[in-house]
Amino acid sequence: MQVSLINYTPNPELTIVAAARSSASQSTIEELRHKLSPRQINDLLKQLLDSGHLSPFEHASFTFSIEGISRVTSHQLVRHRLASYTQQSQRYVPLKEHHYVTPPTMSRQTDLLAKYQRAVENAHELYSQMLEAGIPAEDARYVLPQATETQLVMTMNARELLHACSLRLCLRAQWEIVELFERIKAEVERVAPRLGAELKPKCYRLGHCDEPESCGIFPTLKSKVEAK
């Protein structure tokens, strides 16, 4: 899996804070951008987050190149609808080489791993035979497994990143999408460290786990109430 930040709003944290401050200021955005100190930016970001005033975070966006994830994970990813996606098309791009994702649980069972690899490779062999026989790629792709790797470009604003990470960095999320958002978080931290630090599971904000069962980081709300 490879995740690269290929474009983003310049000075994203300053942009967020200046936009927020402009709602209660007579100064122009440019004036605010020059007035705000690093400490003020940090303090105002905290204030916005603590108060739940998240609309200013929509003014900063991040574009990622994502390669080597399975179709399983790309299907989960695009459920975050407040984002833009452009995915490599299996309709127009024949997959001459077959790259696929193997779950770690499979790797620990040697006999099943061999069967898994054989099944995936057999599926791609049939796919290749279909293409050679003149079957259109858009039809031949029906035989490809969900383990097949894909690549896409995703643009997401900071508010949606906060929301997506609150769900997908949860240790109860599936391992591959957790890894994907860990890499997304690392890319954001390079250019917006204060914002990147806030990309974390929702239990850190809530102070409890709102799932039926906790992973152990925080107790469930029910356990928290019962302990009082």
Can you say whether the dihedral through the CA atoms of 84, 88, 179, 123 is positive or negative? positive
CA distance 184 to 79: 17
- 3-state DSSP of 137-187: HHHHHHHCCCCEEEEEEEEEEHHHHHHHHHHHCCCCCCHHHHHHHHHHHHH
Give the pair of three-digit tokens for residue 159: 């508010």
Q: What are the distances in angstroms from CA 154 to CA 29, 76, 77, 184, 224?
A: 28, 13, 10, 11, 38
Residue 168 annotated to the active site: yes
Tell me, what amino acid is at 25?
S
CB 94 within 8 A of CB 131: yes
Q: What is 86-147 written as a DSSP string?
A: EE--TTTS--SS--B---HHHHT-HHHHHHHHHHHHHHHHHHHHHHHTT--HHHHGGG--TT
Residue of 21, 141, 159, 168 marked catalytic: 168
CB 145 within 8 A of CB 40: no
Give the pair of three-digit tokens for residue 181: 């958002």
CA distance 208 to 224: 7
The residues annotated as belonging to the active site are 168
